[in-house]
A = this chain, B = another copy of it.
Amino acid sequence: MEPFESKVRESFGRQAFMTTLRAEIDCIGPGKIEIRIPFNQSHTQQDGFVHAGVISSIMDSACGYAAYSLAPEGCNVLTVEFKVSLLAPAIGKRFAARAQVKRSGKTLTVCAADAFAIDDDREKLIATMLGTIMTLPAPDTSPSV
């Protein structure tokens, strides 16, 4: 396993919320990653679809780890902001968030992610995200950025 992959998987393993969502890393490369979750009734909104916040959560983590995979060793990452457009209701057996870095900078990285509902072999685009990630020297996780 390459260094970028092992550090991403180690950090991902410490995201308790990803464990709560039963999220898994499906595939990973330098500057890109796919995260998957199964449908879970306890993550739905009033109409029985998966809550937009849950889909946004896996897209946010995917953007963060796409950026983190390119960050210099010892650096940490932090989401600055993101915008998500919801394109279709989150109905399906599984959901995937695919993120990739659009521009990698010393301090700021911009990532795009798409989310899909997956049933058997069919995929449907349900959301898209554009976000900004900040790279921080590791010992400094202070909020004063």
A residues contacting B by CB (< 8 A) are 11-12, 14-17, 19-20, 41-47, 50-54, 56-58, 60-61, 76, 78-89, 102-103, 105-108, 110, 112, 125, 128, 130, 132, 134, 141, 143-145
- CA gap between A108 and B85 in the complex, in Å: 11
Q: Which residues of B contact A86 (CB under 8 A)?
A: 78-81
Known: A85-B132, A108-B80. A14 touches B46 (CB 8 A): yes
Closest B residue to A17 by CB, please name it.
Answer: B51
Number of copies: 4
A68 to chain B, nearest CB (A): 9
- The residue on B at minimum CB distance from A83 is B83
A62: min CB distance to chain B, Å: 11
- Interface SS of chain A: mixed
A110 to B132: give the CA distance in the assembly, Å: 13
Name the B residues within 8 Å of A128 (CB-CB): 102, 110, 112, 130
Residue pair A57, B54 in contact (C-beta under 8 Å): yes
Whether the Cβ atoms of A52 and B43 lie closer than 8 Å is no
Q: How far is the CA of A47 from the CA of B61 in the complex (A)?
A: 13
> From A106, which residue of chain B is reached at the shortest CB distance?
B144
